[in-house]
Each structure stands twice: as structure tokens, then as C-alpha cells.
Amino acid sequence: MIVNKTVTLVWAALLAAGSMGGCECGRDVLVEDGVQLEHEKIIDKAPQAPRPDVVFPRGTLTGEPSLNKFIERALSVCADGDYDGFRRLFGTAYRPPDQADFEERWHGVQGIEIRSVDLGKEDPPEYYVHALIRLREPDRKGRRKLDAVVRVFREGEAWRLGEAPKEVVERILVAATRPADNGPAGRRSP
């Protein structure tokens, strides 16, 4: 399965936006199909580039500590523009965006606010991360803000990223427009 353009924008934006954790400047190496790949981090190539702001409110944390750590790690990996680390966050059924698209999106995001992390109805459990993305410049449709929802699921022992089903995205976005207290994060079912 290929991640669609919305998910590409969302995850490149969501994950590139983080400012958590320390800086481990340098290069990471990925071995794929017996070929060594090496991508320089964006902050090494463009150290003066403005970094996006990220808001990950305490109210969006779940009761699943490993999931919270995964989201924080993903934000940290992408804060540096670590494309190789970013690619490794996706499930095996998904193809992440290419490096050029990742870099373009990274530079275009002004900020991200995580709005919710919702527990799905699936077994084993899956979660859906809803975020508001602020762009530095309007997109092709003239939008400066985008709402987005992405799927986080377990693959083996690790959390991974993927595309949320359209019907789940619609339910979460409709629920987000209602003025109601939905309780603690990770408790709602999309």
C-alpha cells in the first residue's frame, strides 16, 4: 500500500515538527536490499532553517506509555529532518514519502498541535492521532491550516505508522468540531 499525499503531508509535518529530545547531529546509515543508504539530516544541510513548533499537550497522552514514547521519539527523529529514521517508523505494508517530498514538507510546516490520540475499536488496539497543522505558506487550495488523522498500530513488538481509514478520519474530524468533553485521551472510539 502506498501512503496517500494527505498522509505524506501529515506525517512529514507531524513528525518533522517535533522539538523534543536532544540533538544527535550527524548521519544515520540504513542498509536496504544489501545497499547502504545514507541521508544527511536536514539540520546538518540547512542549520539555519526555521524549525516548526510542536504542541503535544498532556491531555493528549494515553494510558499506554510505550505509545506516548513512540510519538515522542517520532517527533524527535523528524525534528532533525532524519529521513532514514522517519522511514523506519512506517509499517511494512506502507511506503513512506521519498526524501525530496519529506524535505519539502519539513520546510513548509510552521507548527503542529496534537489534538487527540484516540483508541480505535480494533483488536489488537490501534490508535488514531489527530493534529492541526499550520503551514508557512498556503497550499495549492489556499489553506494555511489542515486537520489530519493518522493510524498508529503495533507490528510485532514495535509501534508503526500507517494511513487511517477514511471513515475513521471522518468520525474523528466531525467529533472534533462538537463542543463536548470527550474525556481523557485514548478513551474515545473513532
pLDDT at 80: 72
- With a cut of 70, list the residues of the chain below it in pLDDT: 1-38, 43, 78-79, 180-190
Per-residue cell: 60: 493528549
Enumerate the β-bridge partners of residue 27.
Answer: 40
pLDDT at 1: 38
Radius of gyration of the chain (CA): 16
Per-residue cell: 168: 475513521
pLDDT at 36: 45
Surface-to-core class of residue 75, CB atoms within 10 Å of its CB (0-12 exposed, 13-18 middle, 19+ buried):
buried
Q: What are the residue ranges spanned by the domains of the chain?
A: 5-22+38-177
pLDDT in tens, 14-27: 544 333 333 233 33
Torsion angle defined by CA atoms of residues 103, 104, 109 and 115, in that order, rounded to the nearest 10 degrees: -70
Of the chain, the end-to-end C-alpha distance in Å amounts to 22
Could you give the 3-state DSSP secondary structure of residue 37? strand
Class assignment of domain 5-22+38-177?
alpha beta
pLDDT at 131: 87
